[in-house]
Amino acid sequence: MTSSGTPERSPAGDALSVDNASRVNGRTPPNGHDEVARLRQALELANQQLLEATRDAGMAEVATGVLHNVGNVLTSINVTANLLCDRLRDSKVTSLTKVCALLKENSADLPGFFAKDPRAAKLTSYLENLSVTLEKDRQEGLNELATLLKSVSHVKDIIWMQQSYASVSGLVEPIHPPEIIEDALKLSTNALQRHNVQVVREFTETQTARAERHKVLQILVNLISNAKKAMDCKEPSQRKLVIRTGNGPDDTVTIQVVDNGIGIPEANLTRIFSHGFTTRKDGHGFGLHSSALAATQMGGSLTAQSAGPGQGATFTLALPGWKDAPLDGSSPS
Ligand SMILES: Nc1ncnc2c1ncn2[C@@H]1O[C@H](COP(=O)(O)OP(=O)(O)OP(=O)(O)O)[C@@H](O)[C@H]1O
Ligand SMILES: [Mg+2]
């Protein structure tokens, strides 16, 4: 983060190895790739709009989380687009061109060609095989395009969600934990799936919380992202994220994010909330600091528990209940 609060770099930009809309990894796609190029251009534009929208709304923190997610989706879009380009480049359509050339060459006496030329005898089975290959290519190409369109629509969902949260920035309102948890999970779906993280929801009936939606969303996205990274040390089949809701002391509503990852040594349990504290080589040490700050601003708290290295971690977000919290969102006396 820069001192102005804007993200230092765009993870989406990092993830996308596309120089511009018409070049893929240094190669210019052959003609016929217009649709892919158009989609790329639309995505670049959407990403730009997302950045501007989040900056305008002063939601740089959420933008960082959202852009991480958009970046992940763009990475998979890039992979699929590359596959599609390879498929089109290697297409057997050129064999059809050779058949046409052969027929044209013999167009003066086609009956004679079919009667005498040994190549003509093989033509029927050749064309048959070719049609099978082309049909297979077509089907696989369509499947890849469907994946691409699904990813594009996922990006659209993320942007839509971000905008709907931005529009209510600063507003303290009744929050139903499961709804906001589902939104946070939606923003993290792609990364969680890629890391094979099993998500377990343990929702118990809670009272309504009083909080700012975008702040709670930002906190949960941060906690889920940290949990996912903390579980990188685990076998993919063992990675388990539990999200739990409950009623805490003093009429608070709690949301817990529990992972079975790398764990936290006791000495670090409070240090992790300091600005700039990170143990990850690509970390900024910003997520927990801003999340704890946001929790306090809403009259709540964010705390961490861990039985130690290798024992996983539990982060508890406590928010004031709707009945007792002061209307301005400041700490209850
Ligand atoms: N679920 C977790 N399990 C184990 N350690 C964690 C967990 N969440 C956070 N930490 C520790 O707390 C540190 C600070 O987390 P924080 O989210 O503030 O920053 P970061 O993840 O390192 O970087 P970024 O600012 O990019 O999020 C992490 O580097 C890690 O050491
Ligand atoms: Mg983090």
The bound ligand whose nearest atom lies closest to the alpha carbon of 279 is 1
What is the C-alpha to C-alpha distance for residues 219 and 214, in angstroms, rounded to an integer? 9
| 315 CA: nearest ligand 1 atom | 1
What is the C-alpha to C-alpha distance for residues 38 and 41, in angstroms, rounded to an integer? 5
Per-residue CA distances from 201 to 198, 204, 207, 240, 249 (Å): 10, 9, 17, 11, 21
Which residue, 187, 289, 178, is CA-closest to 243? 178
Per-residue CA distances from 126 to 1, 35, 63, 91 (Å): 61, 30, 55, 16
- For atom 23 of ligand 1, the residue with the nearest CA is 283
Beta-carbon contacts of 210 under 8 Å, excluding residues fewer than 6 positions away, are 172, 173, 174, 175, 298, 299, 319, 320, 321, 322, 325, 329
Residues of the chain with pLDDT under 70: 1-32, 50-65, 68-69, 72, 161, 163-169, 324-333
pLDDT of residue 238: 96
Cα 312 off chain centre by: 24
Residue range 161-211, pLDDT digits in tens: 676 666 666 788 899 999 999 988 887 887 788 899 999 999 999 999 999
Residue range 69-113, pLDDT digits in tens: 677 678 778 888 888 888 888 888 888 889 999 999 999 999 999
pLDDT of residue 50: 67
pLDDT of residue 60: 56
Indicate the pairing of strand 240-247 with strand 301-305. unpaired
Structure-token pair, residue 322: 């709707």
* CB-based pocket (< 6 A), ligand 1: 222, 226-227, 230, 259, 261-264, 272, 277-280, 283-289, 313
- Taking a C-beta distance cutoff of 8 angstroms, is the pair 224, 246 a contact? no
What is the C-alpha to C-alpha distance for residues 279 and 271, in angstroms, rounded to an integer? 11
| 230 CA: nearest ligand 1 atom | 3
| 257 CA: nearest ligand 1 atom | 1
Q: 290 alpha carbon to ligand 2 midpoint, in Å?
A: 10
Q: 287 alpha carbon to ligand 2 midpoint, in Å?
A: 4
pLDDT of residue 329: 44
Q: 11 alpha carbon to ligand 2 midpoint, in Å?
A: 14
Q: 221 alpha carbon to ligand 1 midpoint, in Å?
A: 12
pLDDT of residue 261: 97
